[in-house]
Chains A and B, each alone.
Chain A
Amino acid sequence: MWVLDTVYRDGVDLWCRDASGTVTRKHYAYDPPFYLHLADPSAHHEMLDVLEAEFKAEPCSFFTLFGELDGFSVHGNRQLAEQIEQQTRFDARLFNVDVRRDQQFMAEQGIFPCGDDPGSRFSADFSCSLRRMEICIRDDPARTPLCTEVEVTGDCTETLHGPGHTVVADLFGLVESIDPEVILMSHADTWLPKFRAFSVEKGLTMPFSRNGKYRQMSSRSYWSYGRMEHKEAALIPDGRVLIDTDESFVYREGGLAGVLMASRLSGLSPNMAARFTPGTLISSYEVYEAVKRGIVVPFRKADAETARKLADLRAADRGGMMFQPKPGIYENVNELDFTSMYPSIIVRYNLSPETLENPSAKGFLPAVLAPVVSLRRETKERKRTEPRYAGIDTLLKWMLVTCFGYTGYKNAKFGRIEVHEAITARSRDILIQTKDLAESMGFVVLHGIVDCLWVQGSPVEVLQQRIGDVTGLRAENEHFDWIVFLPLNDGFGAYNRYYGRLSDGSMKVRGIAARRHDAPDIIRSMQQEMLEVMCTAKDTGELARVRDKVRKIYLAALQRLPLADPRTLAISRRISRTRYTHRCLEGAAVQAYRDDGVEVAPGMKIRYIVRDARRYQVDPEWRAKTFDVPYYRSLMEKAWNDIAYAFGGRVMRPG
């Protein structure tokens, strides 16, 4: 059974695709109970009587991460679970309350979406040959009621252009006739509610759903990894995969193959997998695995950490290890990077909430992460020669990155802060062990950051081998012909701002405008052009010889600046708030958006052009006609300084 989409609506609907590409709905009656454990059931006998009479409560036993518990199975919803919590003054421990029922059903049945061979779930070789349709809408969804210019690519390409009502009606016709399994649509989640309003008004049928039904996801703003994110509300069609190509992180990073892999692992429909963050995906994957293994999923975490002194907390919670680099240009440098270091540590050192007190037990987290870690190793290797694995590899990378963070997240179902601390403690030991090993073999360690070490010396293959033997973890190597570690304002080396030429002739760039999404296009492309020239230099001698050529690019860009198209000067920002107490450019941009009738929410991305930096005057991208030339000149100068450092800094050669 190849499952394209799943929905829980009075039972589970599985939208299955057969070999000929026909998609049909199969409905399964399914009403699983949640589980209740009470330390002293007799203290709550009246409540239990009601649960038995009204909600089919029955005594049973079930397995948690920490062992078997006696309790009751109860057929009720989340509201009932919350009432039980209140009634028992949070004495009750509840399980499987908020597990998605379609996901739970599939985990129990041993099936998963986007694949039909139960043995192939952890394989990167699966088919993505779905009937797809790409809808590219040129209009800005925040400022246009209906789209007027659309390019549709299916078996052939069609362009729709004209009044909104005609274009949308024609688009509906195309979706109906092509009948795709997957729709890739720009700003789909913003357009669909507008399309629905239009179809209701005109009495049309919106054909995105196969049965006319849509699930709703509400909009929300949330903090993720220290920054505010915003997710638009979404209308999700039944029986067809609709991906918002602009908003879906998973699609942007991993393409359709990444979305399908996420769906296979997490047991969520591709429609959901495309809309969730990697953190939610790894968490869902753990839930799927728990259900599959007969372990119940806690509704609220009960394993709170023990009270500790602040000094002990500080000592335990230090994060990753860093060795600050000395700014400069270095020749013949090897970057040794531990593949999926944190998840590998979880697996190798058996770190899981339940193994902290019982280290000899086989941990849940290591057991479920092990196949993902080995799949990532495989895709990382295979993508070197077969680019089709790159999307899956990126998806796995993100899921594994976040699996560590989730161990320290207060609401993580299978997380515990002590596990988080144990992982970082091991990682610090490993990085120091690696540094000592490298130095004992005559290497010079230039820089180190969490799971990566930059060294000068040889033979690096022997060092790699020794690292593997000593730490049990695999370190990949990338060789730089030369690398520039940039300085901070105080002259010390920056941890995450560097660029250099790899031995395959490509450039690796981190932390400078050429790679930053918030930098204006004009500055990003200027720096990229400079780096392309620098990339031809195989050593620092050749690098010195391209200096004049690179400087000319800067001077030419400066000269062209006053005549630049204002749209190439747009600065992108993800706003963290909508009210600002101090005057700033970002606050002015938020106000400019509002003045143009565009709703803004924390986490949203805005793009603006600075008209007068001193007076904090900015324009939204669509309205900008003039710009503050000296302000942009200063940004250009800053970008040039990062590049010019390569020509003025001290050259450090090995030995």
Chain B
Amino acid sequence: MGRSFLSVRLGVRSLAERWERVSGKLDRDSREHAVRLTGLAKNHSSEAFFGCDNPLEAMVFSALLEIRRNQGEEDDDVGP
């Protein structure tokens, strides 16, 4: 039924696993950030598949969006 090549969603899953493996090899300081980054990259990847053609694009989009959102929250915290 339909074709069967790796979907963006499954591609994201396999890329995320790779990123998690890489995270494990980093020094302790970087490791924590890398694990968080992987989480951010997965956050919106399932919606991003609607417009993105490859998993990496979906993950980068998701991570940047979350980073921007966090930045926005930090900006809001800064008083006049």
Contact = CB atoms under 8 A, between A and B. Distances in A.
Interface in B37-64: 39, 42-43, 46-47, 49-50, 53-54
A405 B4 CA distance: 13
B46 A322 contact: yes
Interface stretch (B5-13, B22-30, B70-78): B5-13
A408 interface: yes
Contacts of A432: 50
B3 A313 contact: yes
Given A490-B42, A492-B42, A317 B53 contact: no
A315 interface: yes
Contacts of A492: 42-43
B2 A317 contact: yes
Contacts of B1: 225, 405-406, 408-409, 420
A390 B39 CA distance: 44
A417 B46 contact: no
A315 B42 contact: no
A321 B53 CA distance: 14
B37 to A, nearest CB: 14
A428 B9 CA distance: 15
A318 B47 contact: no
Contact of A417 (B3, B47, B53): B3
B53 A405 contact: no
Residue among B2, B5, B9, B53 with max Cβ neighbours from chain A (10 Å): B2
A101 to B, nearest CB: 28
Nearest to A432: B50
Contacts of B50: 318, 321, 428, 432
Given A428-B50, A492-B42, A322 B2 contact: no
A159 B78 CA distance: 83
Interface residues of B, number: 17
Contacts of A173: none
Contacts of B39: 491
A582 interface: no
B42 A313 contact: no
Contacts, number: 45
A137 B50 CA distance: 52
B2 A314 contact: no
Interface string A281-322: 000000000000000000000000000000101110111011
A319 B7 CA distance: 8
Contacts of B8: 314, 318
B3 A323 contact: no
A313 B46 contact: no
B5 A323 contact: no
Contacts of B47: 322-324
Given A490-B42, A492-B42, A318 B49 contact: yes
Nearest to A408: B2
Contacts of A323: 46-47
Q: Which of B1, B2, B3, B16 counts the most chain A CB atoms within 10 A?
A: B1
Given A311-B53, A324-B46, A428-B50, A420 B5 contact: no
Interface string A391-423: 000000000000001101100000001001000
Interface in A455-496: 490-492
Contacts of B43: 492
B46 A319 contact: no
A493 to B, nearest CB: 9
B42 A317 contact: no
B46 A314 contact: no
B52 to A, nearest CB: 10
Contacts of A491: 39
A521 to B, nearest CB: 32
Contacts of B49: 318, 322
A230 to B, nearest CB: 19
Nearest to B47: A323
Nearest to A406: B1
Nearest to B7: A319
B42 A417 contact: no
A314 B2 CA distance: 12
Contacts of B2: 317, 319, 405, 408, 417, 420
A317 B46 contact: no
Contacts of A225: 1
A324 B8 CA distance: 14
A322 B3 contact: no
Contacts of A315: 53
Nearest to A495: B46
A490 B1 CA distance: 30
A360 to B, nearest CB: 27
Looking at B42, B46, B49, which has the most chain A CB atoms within 10 Å of its CB? B46
Nearest to A409: B1
B20 to A, nearest CB: 8
A295 B3 CA distance: 28
10 contacts: A315-B53, A317-B3, A318-B8, A322-B47, A324-B46, A408-B1, A409-B1, A490-B16, A490-B42, A492-B42
* Closest A-B pairs by Cβ, 9 of them: A405-B1, A408-B2, A324-B46, A408-B1, A322-B46, A317-B3, A315-B53, A314-B53, A420-B2
Interface of A: 225, 311, 313-315, 317-319, 321-324, 405-406, 408-409, 417, 420, 428, 432, 490-492
Given A318-B50, A491-B39, 5 more contacts: A314-B8, A405-B2, A417-B2, A417-B3, A490-B42
